[in-house]
Amino acid sequence: MNGVPRKSAPKQSDVARLAGVSQSAVSRVISGDVDAGRIPPETRQRVLDAVKELGYVPNAAARNLRNKRNRLLGVHTFEAVFPHARDDFYFEFLLGIEERAEEIGYDLVLFTSTGASDGRRRIYRDGTNRLNLADGSVLLGVATDREELARLWHDGYLFVHIGRREVAGAEIPCIVPDYESAAARIVESLAARGHRRLAYLREGIEQESYDDRRTGYRRAVERLGLVDRSPGFGGEPWLSEAWLDELAGGPETAVVAESIRLAEGLRAGLAARGLSIPADMSVAVLEGSGDEPGHRWDCLVIPRKEIGRIAIDALVARVENPDRPPVSELVECDLVAGETIAGPRETR
């Protein structure tokens, strides 16, 4: 005696038998197919009663097999979600994803089974694409695997990617923060404050999202006739001591950094040279969520939660209408004022 009622799940035929109707009648009642084969209220009620009595619940797998639909959306991250969730990278995205999925009545599958031993996750393993289980998937991750992305696309699998990813020969539908415009607006705000000579602090990462920042920055600088002679602007990543010396003595009055990490490094380097932010140097950062602990940088805000929501909407739009062409969407980033921008100091 283990106390567990181990009845096997009732099926439509059981319901049909109990209700004294045919299985197809049950199906019609269950799937609420209003137009097709109108069921008289009285029959309908008999079926419903039988459903209740038996505790019948439709079998998702069978439905799926027939309908090719699940109301199941996949979420594939190329790294484990939760360990990173805390540091806000995945977190806000997931918040939006969950929120929107709940609103529109979809469930979410977290594809965890695909974990390889190295901590990376692969979509295709021993030839099986688990993602097929869902009606479509949202992919995200820093270490996106391009090959898998390409294959997925070529297989005609329905997905959207959070963050821009370019793959030759495929048009990956992406939901992307509009870094280009945000970077440009940051440059504009600096110019409006009177800054003419800027420096750019570049990460050592080659990725689309950084390309976008760089493009936006470069174009704005050129368009506004500003000057940037920094190595970062030329393509050199990170900050060297030599360059910090040069910066400290040079005519630049503002720096735009690609990341908070770089900005922090800059702050330390300047401090070591007796300079402070923003009195001696204004600094803006092309990254942020608007609520970082520590210094309040002037920065852009990646609307992560909204991106998550939009990703779900974009995905579902295609799930529910597969003829719809896949499109990428650019999501505007807000700019938040911090305490690291001031007017240009007087020339030394």
Can you give the binding site for its own copies, defined by CB under 8 A?
2-9, 30, 51-52, 55-62, 64-65, 70-72, 80-83, 85-86, 91, 94-95, 98-99, 101-103, 105-113, 115, 124, 127-130, 132-133, 151, 153-156, 171, 322, 325-326
If one counts every other C-beta atom within 10 angstroms of the C-beta of residue 112, the result is: 14
Q: 318 by DSSP, 3-state: which?
A: helix
If one counts every other C-beta atom within 10 angstroms of the C-beta of residue 301, the result is: 17
With CB under 5 to 8 Å by kind, the binding choice for 2 among its own copies, DNA, none is its own copies
- Rank residues 107 and 245 by Cβ distance to its own copies and give the closer one: 107
CB of 209 to its own copies, least distance (A): 23
Q: 52 by DSSP, 3-state: which?
A: helix
Is 43 a residue that touches DNA (CB under 7 A)? yes
Token duo for residue 49:
């009663």
Token duo for residue 185:
């607006």
- Rank residues 28 and 165 by Cβ distance to DNA and give the closer one: 28
Whether 227 and 198 have beta carbons less than 8 Å apart is answered as: yes
CB of 204 to its own copies, least distance (A): 30
Is 9 a residue that touches DNA (CB under 7 A)? yes
Q: How far apart are CA 311 and CA 289, in angstroms?
A: 18
The enclosing H or E element of 51 equals helix 41-54
Is 28 a residue that touches DNA (CB under 7 A)? yes
Q: Which stretch binds DNA (CB under 7 A): 33-41, 88-96, 168-176, 177-185?
A: 33-41
Q: Which of 17, 54, 58, 227 binds DNA (CB under 7 A)?
A: 58
Sort residue 48 into left (φ over 0), alpha (ψ -120 to 50) or beta: alpha
Is 321 a residue that touches DNA (CB under 7 A)? no
